């Protein structure tokens, strides 16, 4: 599969999975977490599809499009290994939706990172909450959920 096809699959799947997870968690009161701001495309989409819900962003260095830059008070700046435990202490296990797109271009490194960050993310999710990830995650108590129509198997994952 060409890199262009892979990229299109990832973008299409992120949108379909985020729309689906936002719908299924729309009645939950807890915050939403975006892990990895990057250009801010998925953050921008999340804010648009979840008006009225608090979206906190975890990123080590902000380099986003000006239209997709979160306000300072919604930004958890630093390495997620430090900022996620801080958020757990502050908010408890209350997140209604967590989206993670923290990977780079090396699939092996992405998989190693996903393995190790899974145990940090898992305790943050509220009961009934959903986690959407661009990489396969390794949770103990959360199980993989079916993908919505429009998402491509292997391009995005949902756990709950
Ligand atoms: N979803 C974003 C978008 O739509 O534009 C793209 C995210 S980009 C693929 C991944 C981001 O994760 C990068 O901005 C990188 O700085 C961030 N990141 C990766 N590892 C991180 C870590 N350990 N702590 C904090 N941020 C990290």
H/E/C letters for each residue in the chain? CCHHHHHHHHHHHHHHHHHHHHHHCCCCCCCEEEECCCCCHHHHHHHHHCCCCCEEEEECCCCCCHHHCCCHHHEEECCHHHHHHHHHHHHCCCEEEEEECCCCCCHHHHHHHHHHHHHHHHHHEEEEEEEEECCCCCCCCCCEECCCCCCCECCEEEEC
In the chain, the domains with their CATH numbers are 3-159 (3.40.50.150)
ipTM of the complex: 0.99
State the distance from the centre of ligand 1 to the C-alpha of 80, rounded, in angstroms: 10
Ligand 1: centre distance to CA 37 (Å): 5
Per-residue pLDDT of the chain in tens (160 residues, 90 and over written 9): 999 999 999 999 999 999 999 999 999 999 999 999 999 999 999 999 999 999 999 999 999 999 999 999 999 999 999 999 999 999 999 999 999 999 999 999 999 999 999 999 999 999 999 999 999 999 999 999 999 999 999 999 999 9
**Residue of 6, 35, 48, 59 to mutate, ligand 1, most atoms within 8 A of C-beta:** 59
């Amino acid at each position: 599969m060409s890199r262009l096809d892979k990229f299109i699959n990832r973008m299409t799947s992120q949108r379909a999975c985020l729309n689906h997870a936002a719908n299924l968690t729309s009645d939950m009161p807890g915050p939403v977490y975006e892990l990895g701001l990057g250009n801010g495309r998925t953050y921008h989409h999340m804010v648009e599809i979840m008006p009225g819900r608090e979206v906190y962003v975890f990123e080590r260095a902000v380099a986003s499009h000006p239209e997709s830059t979160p306000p300072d008070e919604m930004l958890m700046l630093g390495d997620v290994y430090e900022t996620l435990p801080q958020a757990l202490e502050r908010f408890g296990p209350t997140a209604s939706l967590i989206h993670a797109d923290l990977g780079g271009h090396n699939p092996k490194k992405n998989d190693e990172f996903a393995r190790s960050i899974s145990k940090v993310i898992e305790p943050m999710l509220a009961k009934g909450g959903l986690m959407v990830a661009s990489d396969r995650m390794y949770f103990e108590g959360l199980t993989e959920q079916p993908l919505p129509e429009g998402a491509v198997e292997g391009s995005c994952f949902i756990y709950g």
